[in-house]
Structure 1
């Protein structure tokens, strides 16, 4: 009798041979080992890199959660306008001259431009030849400039530039950042980092050491004095309406401090507002009892980890130098506080990054930034910050 044969079901896949299985396993193992070796080499390269990130102060890492504003507008770009599109490249700071009805803004191409408030006409005014950042309107029509590469400048109404100061205590400014002028004529300004220039500012934040300074310049004596040392990326500065204190920011610490220039506390510094929703930049007073503080990047869990672990910042610095650092910035905008630092409102948008200035002029909010070729303008009457719906 013939032996019966068992045929495979139709359309069934062929059974893999032992050799094929072994080949697949070997290939997978080889791929895994290659990935592990690549990662180990990358980590070794990072470890060998000379960049040295420092621990942030333990008391900073132990802070309580971020405090929220009672009213918000989380969609600032909805309904907003683009002022001077294509003509204002990276308008970092904005200052308003009510007498002329114009705003001055500092652009990445070195131009300080004037924009008429009523019809938004843009005109070139003065080119500093550097990178103008902070602006301050003087009391005789002049404009003071904190130029990242040129130091502190004075520009007359006729557009003549005078260099005032570029160093203090024998140390040249690394990044002259923001400036304000008192009625006495004394200028107060920040040097964000004496070690890193503007092109490398991110390494100051990643290193985690306090290279920032707050300084004063007296035009009557031409003396530059360091008011405060050891600040963490000293940024925006603004005068109080009574001229009794100035406010300045420490960007990576997500806080603004207060330096008293008059009264019983003269010469002392305390915290004006802490636990901000992100990293602060410039500050503007609106003449109505409110300070508008730009938030360049929202606070994130990732940044908490980076502040806590220096190696993460060392890794980020390595990526910044040699590859491409992942971008996690979002929800940039402006927070509004009263004269005592109490939160009033917040304006932001998920699509906004690197907002550097918020200025309230009449019923509009003007927003400056580092990367867009225009100023953002929002009608606050039509698009106000509102309280969240009651859950009761």
Structure 2
């Protein structure tokens, strides 16, 4: 696909974007190997197991205490963001097949949404449920998962926050998002938070109150690229930061598109690679940074998913063959 660059002036990166570890440091990351690559998102199921979807389409449940792994389903696509319901069912954003539901471990998979207005979903990314109402994101309407860097360079701003009503009707709550990604619903149901990976920010869509139906920024000018998010047992919003801000990309985004087209034309093996790091942050619902945990990505990297449970932090990755496990220091 040909690149159609949009010019955008990113906010000036903070000094934190150039640092490679946090203070206090993130504790060492333990690996729990899974039978495949790319456990992109991680969620804690009702039975305490950690669930992830792999690049080969498998859905796996991991017992973090024993390290045992069970395949609980297969999407025949590429599962990304997940939401574990209290009844044992699982909602899945599959980058290729749309919004899916697994009724129980080892059960049947149903397609909930695969098109809107007759147009197939292009890149469904993350999901959260409030009873029978489901919020989910489409990262970009132009690029597929295996070419996500195309959207980072193009800056298409075609991401969407979507809501599926119990009767199956789907509406767009916010469009023109900069690579819409992770989702969190506030415990009081006042708002939905959505990560804008390409905007280094988290957008807040108000569901109730005087601002209902409008959106603003929850957090701006993050030091890295936010991906999936999770509501922790501590009541905080945990955010996976895939990689630090890239100075070259920041320099190119405000300039005419020719330079970005030249970068995209370079063979993929020669294009700039994301810096290896392990990085998560946690915010309260006032937008205050409570935890900032980072270490160099020597043993684990490209963290795209995070789930916190009783001080234990589970990590997902687009490229690793394991779920990561660390702790709040």
Whether contact under 8 Å (1:74, 1:349) holds in the other structure is no
Give the match for residue 180 of structure 2.
234
**By percentage of residues, which structure has more helix?**
1
Structure 1 unaligned regions, length at least 5: 1-48, 385-392
Q: CA deviation at 1:148?
A: 0.3
CA RMSD of aligned residues (A): 2.1
Whether contact under 8 Å (2:301, 2:320) holds in the other structure is no
Which aligned pairs between 1:81-230 and structure 2 lie closer than 5 A? Answer: 81-83=30-32, 85-97=33-45, 99-158=46-105, 159-183=107-131, 185-219=132-166, 221-230=167-176
Q: CA deviation at 1:279?
A: 0.6
Give the match for residue 377 of structure 1.
325
Distance 2:2 2:189 in 1: 45
Deviation string for 1:9-49 (max 9, x for gaps)?
xxxxxxxxxxxxxxxxxxxxxxxxxxxxxxxxxxxxxxxx9
Deviation string for 1:116-140 (max 9, x for gaps)?
1322211111010000000012243
Give the match for residue 25 of structure 1.
none
Structure with bigger RCO (C-alpha 8 Å, 6+ apart): 2
Distance 1:370 1:50 in 2: 25
Deviation string for 1:258-286 (max 9, x for gaps)?
11122222111110001111110001011
Distance 2:68 2:28 in 1: 20
> Equivalent residue of 1:283, what SS?
strand
Q: CA deviation at 1:331?
A: 3.1
Distance 2:275 2:258 in 1: 20
Aligned counterpart for 2:224 among listed residues 278, 289, 309: 278
Aligned counterpart for 1:358 among listed residues 300, 306, 325: 306
Whether contact under 8 Å (1:67, 1:275) holds in the other structure is no
Give the match for residue 256 of structure 1.
202
Q: CA deviation at 1:80?
A: 2.1
Structure index of larger Rg: 1
Distance verdict in 2 for CA 1:360–1:368, change over 3 Å: same
Aligned counterpart for 2:259 among listed residues 312, 324, 335: 312
**By percentage of residues, which structure has more strand?**
2
What TM-score results when the alignment is normalised by the length of structure 2? 0.91
> Equivalent residue of 1:72, what SS?
coil
Whether contact under 8 Å (2:57, 2:75) holds in the other structure is yes
Structure 2 unaligned regions, length at least 5: none
- Is the aligned partner of 1:53 residue 2:5? yes
Whether contact under 8 Å (1:186, 1:218) holds in the other structure is yes
Distance 2:326 2:101 in 1: 31
What TM-score results when the alignment is normalised by the length of structure 1? 0.77
Give the match for residue 22 of structure 2.
72
Give the match for residue 46 of structure 1.
none
How many equivalent residue pairs?
322
Distance 2:259 2:97 in 1: 33
